[in-house]
Structure 1
Amino acid sequence: MAGSIFGIHGAALELRSQRMGLLTSNIANAATPGYKARDIDFAAALGARMQGADSGNAVAGATRYRVPVMPSLDGNTVELANEQMAFAENAVAYSATLSFVQGRAERITRALRGE
Structure 2
Amino acid sequence: MAINLDKLVGFHQSALAIRTDRMEVISGNLANANTPGYKAKDIDFNKAMESAMSAQEGQHKLGGGSLARTHDKHIGGDMSSVASNFEMQYRIPTQPDTGDGNTVEVQAERNRFLDNGLRYQATLEFINGKVKGMKKALSSGGQ
Q: Name the TM-score class by shorter chain.
A: 0.7 to 0.9
User: Which residue of the other structure, out of 32, 42, 45, is the alignment partner of 2:45?
Assistant: 42
Q: Identity of aligned pairs, percent?
A: 38
1:3–1:11 CA contact under 8 A, matched in 2: no
- Please list every run of 5 or more consecutive structure 2 residues that lacks an aligned counterpart in the other structure: 57-80
- What is the TM-score normalised by the length of structure 2? 0.72
2:38–2:103 CA contact under 8 A, matched in 1: yes
Return the structure number with greater helix share: 1
Q: What residue in structure 2 maps to residue 67 of structure 1?
A: 92
Q: Aligned pair 1:32/2:43, yes or no?
A: no
Q: What's the offset of the Cα at 1:72?
A: 2.7
- Please list every run of 5 or more consecutive structure 1 residues that lacks an aligned counterpart in the other structure: none
Q: Aligned pair 1:52/2:64, yes or no?
A: no
- What is the TM-score normalised by the length of structure 1? 0.87
Q: What's the offset of the Cα at 1:56?
A: 4.1
Q: Aligned pair 1:80/2:106, yes or no?
A: yes
Distance in 2, matches of 1:14 and 1:112, equals: 27
CA-atom RMSD, angstroms?
A: 1.7
Distance in 1, matches of 2:134 and 2:38, equals: 45
Distance in 2, matches of 1:74 and 1:102, equals: 45
Distance in 1, matches of 2:118 and 2:44, equals: 17
Which is greater in Rg? 2
Counterpart code for 2:121? S
